[in-house]
Structure formats: structure tokens, C-alpha cells
Amino acid sequence: MKSKALNSDRREAREYQTPSSGIFFRARKVLYEKKSAFQSIEIIENDFYGRVLFLDGLVQTTEKDEFFYHEMLVHPALACHSRPEKVMIIGGGDGGALREVLRHPVQKAWLVEIDQEVIRACEKFFPWLEEALSDPRAELAIADGFEFIQRTTEKFDVIIVDSSDPVGPSAILHDRDFYARLKKVLKPDGIIAAQAGSQWLHLEEHLKKASFLGRLFKLARFYFGPVPTYPVGTWCYNFLSDRIDPLAVKKLRIPAGLRYYNEEIHRASFALPAFFYNQKSQKSRKKK
């Protein structure tokens, strides 16, 4: 794996999804390149996907397909909550999750992003970020999400964890300790939704996470959705709550104007593939 996506001739950007396979994008133009205090940031223009953001060589967002990821990360949790007034997003510096949160009648939405440079770059090249941040309900905090939750005095109805993969500054956002502390700032009927990586490439990590999340929350479910430019094209998310079962909610509050998420997708997305169950039961057999 390499930490930059652009090749030396700067005409192509590649993400290695495994050491020997991945995805490539022709770069019509290199729009932005910087090494921040936390990571390498690259934005290119591609003929099919439009603007593409890479952090440490990994695709984070593309103009053309970002809606799959941001709608599935945000709406299942918000649509299940009867009054999502206070919402916090941890990570999410490209602004797509914030834009989706603000479609709901929330009172206040915090965006807690560690890297000011990601915000600067995305404000320039992904106009929805600037628009979302100018909403009077939005508040930006440049801070480490783990530190922020230890000092905040707020309690949240919904928390969205829009972290990068468990490497670099995001590693801490995938641990048991982080989720245990996150639960302390969640209201009793609150919901957490978190991006959880690829169920195919990160199965071992999922199973480890499933076991500690299952002990921390009464309801800890995985759900899935497509993201064409993420590794293997299907992405996985955690839905965590002590009170709200996403499959038992009678009336989903779905905002108008979405392109992927709807009621049928909501129900279908909680179905798990057979290999997930098989691996889980093999693991529990080994433990006995």
C-alpha cells in the first residue's frame, strides 16, 4: 500500500485495495496536493467520476458516487429517530455527511474534523461543504474526535462516525474504548451510525468489532450498501442503539430528494451475506 495515489507522471491515480489489486483513475487535472500534519491530501479531476479526493492514497469521495455512501451512512439512523435534535459527525471533512444530516429537522449539527487542511481543500473543490457549513445549524470543530467527546458537555440524539480506515489518525476511532466513551455522550434513546469498511476485505476486523459492540449496545447491527469506488464496491456500516431497532421502526422519516436510500433499501440493507454468518459461527465454535 502507498500513501499517495498519484503516479510519478501525475496522469493517473491508483488506490491499492490489496497489495496486488485496486482501482485507477485517469487524472485529467491535478487540482490539489498537500501533505498536512495528519495525512497526504490529493484531489484530481477524472472524466467519469468528476472530482476525486484521496487521503493517504485511499479514495474518500468522488463527485459522481458520493451519494451512495453519504445517504447510507446518515439516513438509516436519522430516519429511525423520532426527534433527532442534536447530531454530531466525527470525521467527515468532505462535508457530504453534514449535507445529508441537514436535510432532517435537526436543531444543531456538529462536524468534528481533525484536519483543517481537509476542510480547506474540500471547501474549495466540493461546494456542498461550504454550503452546509453556512447553515446556521452547523458548527465546525477542528479537533480529534476522541478528545472532543471527552470534553463535550452535550448529549447527542444521533452520532455519525465518518472516519477514514483504521490507519493514521482514524485508528483510534475504531477501538472499543472510543465506542464506550461515545456511548456516554449519547442520549439513552440515541443512535450511532458508523462506517465499518468492506465486509469482504475486513471481515476479521468486523467480527472483532461485532463482539465488543454487541456487549456495549443492546442492538448492534451491520448494514450494507454499494459504493462503486470503494474497495470491492459494497460498503458496511454499524447501527448501534440501546432502544431503537432499525427493523422494528414503523414510520421511517425519510427526507425528500434522495437518490439511493428509501424504505425498501432500508429493510434490505440489514440482510447479511452467508459468509458473514459462517465465519461468525466458525469463530464461536473455535472459542468453545
| Active-site residue set | 162
Q: Total number of residues binding ligand SAM (CB under 6 A)?
A: 25
Which of 23-31, 132-140, 166-174, 254-262 is the region at the interface with ligand SAM (rule: CB under 6 A)? 166-174
| Nine cell digits for residue 195 | 462506517
- Smallest CA-to-CA distance from 73 within 180, 177, 158 is with 158
Q: What are phi and psi of 182, to 5 degrees?
A: -60, -40
Residue 146 within binding range of ligand SAM, rule CB under 6 A: yes
Q: Does 231 bind ligand SAM (CB under 6 A)?
A: no
Q: Which residues pair with 42 in a beta bridge?
A: 33, 54
Q: Does 95 bind ligand SAM (CB under 6 A)?
A: no
Tell me which stretch binds ligand SAM (CB under 6 A): 138-146, 213-221, 244-252, 255-263.
138-146
132 is an interface residue for ligand SAM by CB under 6 A: no
Stretch that binds ligand SAM, among 12-20, 165-173, 182-190, 257-265 (CB under 6 A): 165-173
Does 173 bind ligand SAM (CB under 6 A)? Our answer is: yes
Residue bearing cell 448494514: 223
Q: To the nearest whole angstrom, how small is the minimum distance from the Cβ of residue 129 to ligand SAM?
A: 10
Asked if residue 195 lies in contact with residue 73, where contact means CB atoms within 8 angstroms, the answer is: yes
With CA atoms as reference, report the closest residue to 237 among 224, 255, 251, 218. 224
Binding region for ligand SAM (CB under 6 A) out of 6-14, 169-177, 185-193, 273-281: 169-177
Residue 195 is a binding residue for ligand SAM (CB under 6 A): yes
Point out the residue whose Cβ comes nearest to ligand SAM.
91
Q: Applying CB under 6 A, does 93 fall inside the site for ligand SAM?
A: yes
Q: Is 60 in the site for ligand SAM (CB under 6 A)?
A: yes
Buried b (16+ CB within 10 A) or exposed e, 89-124: bbbbbbbbbbbbbbbbebeebbbbbbbebbbbbbbe
Q: Who's near 243: CB < 8 A, 6+ residues apart?
A: 188, 189, 218, 219
The backbone torsions φ and ψ at residue 152, rounded to the nearest 5 degrees and listed phi first, read -70, 150
Q: Considering the rule CB under 6 A, would residue 145 count as an interface residue with ligand SAM?
A: yes
Q: Decide: is 238 part of the binding site for ligand SAM (CB under 6 A).
A: no
Least spacing, CB of residue 112 vs ligand SAM, in Å: 6
DSSP string, 63-99: TTTHHHHHHHHHHHHHHH-S---EEEEEE-TTSHHHH
Kindly calculate the radius of gyration of the chain based on its CA atoms and give it in whole angstroms: 18
Residue numbers of the site for ligand SAM (CB under 6 A)?
Answer: 38, 55, 60, 69, 90-94, 112-115, 118, 144-146, 162-164, 169-170, 172-173, 195
